Chain A
């Protein structure tokens, strides 16, 4: 394998709900930095049915080139069809690095492609860097349930591949009118060649949780004592117009639904303000909220680890402090809410 032949940083572009998935834009931001460091090009790899309309967005977010596979065959994500496109494109154009969002589909696709190429694949990366002269990708990731960080290298194979967690990289501010090169590609594949069939897609009416996009989150933990005690969290959230989140332990206790869980096995959130009330601050919780703008912790234990991660903390009993907060905010915001 001649490493000289492998050039450029690529990002697999995921389309979700009729737009480019936020993680793909974040990866273009991270990829731009890597490409500049290597004095090489940044490319997007876009696969789908009727997806050419997204190309301009990709240029604006930093891509120099976009490889497009546009075919009804790619109407739904299926491992077998998508991996063929990615595999062929890698063989043909030989990228040095290929990044995927660590989403369900991104991880599925990356694992399949890595096996066939074959090459190394670093999972769930949260920190990316590249050696300027050698092009060696330094991908760091949490492991052992977040207890340690590990830097993973792939020295002997190209392309170097990694899946990257959503919300840890930053998208660039889009540059309106920026343009690039469009490269249309096709695969030699027919519907009959693909063994799996998507029979139906069911959208669940219990839509995705609002904590994903909220500016303010009030999150509660086991320290609230009971489902009834957790009502304080709902009341406070209502007064300040926040979404409600929680630790895994309160989800397991059945106080709030799973889609409100923040953390490693829940959602990664980045609100402008995050209240952590009666939450101890276990590492698995911290990884899901540490990039919030302003973190405020309320806990009765002065040694609770959450105080290491917060910007401001109150040591006190939630059952005393939160009612005071509710009153103070109601007054300050001139807002009365009936507590039923």
Chain B
């Protein structure tokens, strides 16, 4: 039975987030927490593969207790099981510490059901580094496949899969042994509205939650802020541009002024 684990993260909706103009900090309360949009595609792809080949879809997140909501959203999309690692000790993790903690959780999950495939989103909309997926793959010593825009085939028996990896001007067809890790593009699928039974299941669903103490062979010095080589030393609002000259007069006059300005670069208009 194919066991696919999608890694998902709850993020503030950056479309709605507001900045406090006085302190130049983010007003986190202004932004509702949502399932990272790229991760919705990761879960959807896992669910589609389950429909095609049979199997089990689990989701895994590291986050504070409210992140349970993001897991429920994945159950709505069609995931079967949800795992969450949540502990003060994980706080402040950069991508290196995040991939370490997630790897420890994946190792524990694989003891319950061996994992054939891990699917991550291309990136998150808050940190948006795209570094966590390849980091997990290296730690588990499985091939990372990023920029994945299509899954062509999964062959569970012969233990390989074939995918399309997006290039700037086309794509490459890659064959990889299982298990491997995919980081998927948005174009890989469309996430439809969730069917009612899934929504009812999600409402009641309680994920399995582990603290650091529940994970085996864990090196605490590699977790959270302590285990993070990168430090965010300063945060500031992007400098406000000063603004340009607004032309005046009638529409005709403005157009004429603009013409003069632009035609100074006459060499550009062959």
A residues within 8 Å of B by Cβ?
Answer: 16, 76, 79-80, 83, 103-104, 107-108, 110-112, 114-116, 118-124, 138, 142-157, 195-204, 207-208, 215-216, 240-241, 272-273, 283, 286, 290, 294-297, 302, 307-316, 320-321, 324-325, 328-329, 332-333
Contacts and interface: CB of A to CB of B under 8 A. Distances in A.
A138 to B, nearest CB: 8
Given A150-B234, A156-B229, A325 B258 contact: yes
A152 B129 CA distance: 12
Nearest to A158: B229
B125 A145 contact: yes
B127 to A, nearest CB: 6
B258 A312 contact: yes
A123 B128 CA distance: 8
B234 A151 contact: yes
Contacts of B144: 79, 108, 111-112
Given A148-B237, A202-B170, A324-B251, A315 B246 contact: yes
Interface string B193-232: 0000000000000000000000000000000000011111
Contacts of B265: 272-273, 294
A273 B234 contact: no
Contact of A121 (B131, B133, B233): B131
B252 interface: yes
Given A114-B135, A328-B256, A198 B176 contact: no
Closest 5 CB pairs of A and B: A145-B14, A120-B229, A123-B129, A111-B134, A120-B230
A157 B15 contact: no
Contact of B130 (A111, A115, A150, A315): A111
A290 B238 CA distance: 12
Contact of B232 (A83, A118, A142, A150): A150
A144 B12 contact: yes
Interface string B235-270: 111101111111100011011101101110100111
Interface stretch (B56-64, B81-89, B111-119, B161-169): B161-169
Nearest to A107: B130
A247 B230 CA distance: 33
Interface residues on B, range: 35 or more
Nearest to A110: B131
Given A147-B26, A302-B246, A333-B269, A283 B238 contact: yes
B169 A121 contact: no
A324 B252 contact: yes
B212 to A, nearest CB: 20
A46 B56 CA distance: 43
Given A202-B172, A295-B244, A328-B259, A314 B167 contact: no
Contacts of B1: none
B232 A152 contact: yes
B17 A147 contact: yes
Nearest to A258: B187
Interface stretch (B45-53, B67-75, B91-99): B91-99
Contacts of A103: 168
B108 interface: no
Contacts of A196: 143, 145, 174-176, 180
B260 to A, nearest CB: 9
Contacts of B177: 195
B102 to A, nearest CB: 12
Given A204-B171, A215-B268, A123 B231 contact: no
Given A111-B129, A122-B230, A199-B172, 13 more contacts: A104-B147, A120-B228, A121-B95, A123-B131, A124-B129, A144-B12, A145-B126, A199-B162, A202-B171, A202-B173, A216-B269, A310-B244, A314-B254
B231 A152 contact: yes
